[in-house]
């Protein structure tokens, strides 16, 4: 097991609001360009600030493992919902899907916590029950130690 960094981050924006497409009329056919929105840039800046405050100074170059807990906003009528259905009341709470969350988070931490998201070797995603602390992401980044080469002696 390698070193571990824990972050509490803002609730992620939707991937639908993270990237946008602009069509440029061009002959012989239009050109579609995908770009990062201003809202996405603001989210990435906030994530970067919090990552630096947690001690991340330079992007890791090795493998990483992510543990992500997504806490949706707790609605005002949560107690009523919990009384009506104590075991699955939070299934009715509006929340982005976990895949969407992971993609936005990994893009926001690219160049901050790691060089490129291809370094992510394993991800554990959990949707949590909303609580009094509000909508957020709790992220643990585990930096894996380099494994010895299985063929190191053979190649030498």
Can you give the residue ranges of every domain in the chain?
3-155
Residue 27 CA, distance from chain mean position: 38
User: DSSP state, 130?
Assistant: P
What's residue 106's pLDDT?
A: 95
Q: Topology of domain 3-155, per CATH?
A: 60s Ribosomal Protein L30; Chain: A; (3.30.1330)
pLDDT, position 154: 59
User: 20: which residues sit within 8 A by CB, 6+ positions away?
Assistant: 34, 35, 37
Integer CA distances (angstroms), 62 to 58, 104, 119, 144, in order:
12, 21, 7, 7
Average pLDDT for runs of 10 along the chain of length 156: 89 91 88 92 97 96 97 96 95 95 95 95 97 98 82 62
| Structure confidence at residue 26 (pLDDT) | 84
Q: Please report the pLDDT score of residue 47 as a whole number.
A: 97
Taking the C-alpha atoms of residue 45 and residue 94, their distance in angstroms, rounded to an integer, is: 25
The answer to whether 60 and 143 are in contact (CB under 8 A) is yes
**What pLDDT score does 155 carry?**
56
What's the pLDDT at 156? 55
The answer to whether the Cα torsion of 89, 122, 37, 136 is positive or negative is positive
pTM exceeding 0.75? yes
Rounded CA-CA distance 92/26 in Å is 45
């Amino acid at each position: 097991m390698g070193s571990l960094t824990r972050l509490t981050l803002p609730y992620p924006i939707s991937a639908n609001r993270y990237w946008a497409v602009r069509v440029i009329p061009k002959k012989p056919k239009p050109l579609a360009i995908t770009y990062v929105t201003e809202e996405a840039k603001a989210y990435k800046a906030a994530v970067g600030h919090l990552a630096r405050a947690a001690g991340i100074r330079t992007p890791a170059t090795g493998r990483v493992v992510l543990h992500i807990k997504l806490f949706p906003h707790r609605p005002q009528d949560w107690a009523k919902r919990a009384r009506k259905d104590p075991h699955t009341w939070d299934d009715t709470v509006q929340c982005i899907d976990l895949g969407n969350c992971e993609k936005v988070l990994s893009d926001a931490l690219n160049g901050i916590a790691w060089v490129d998201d291809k370094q992510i070797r394993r991800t554990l995603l959990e949707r949590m029950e909303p609580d009094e602390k509000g909508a957020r992401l709790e992220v643990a980044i585990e930096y894996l130690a380099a494994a010895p080469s299985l063929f190191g002696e053979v190649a030498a």
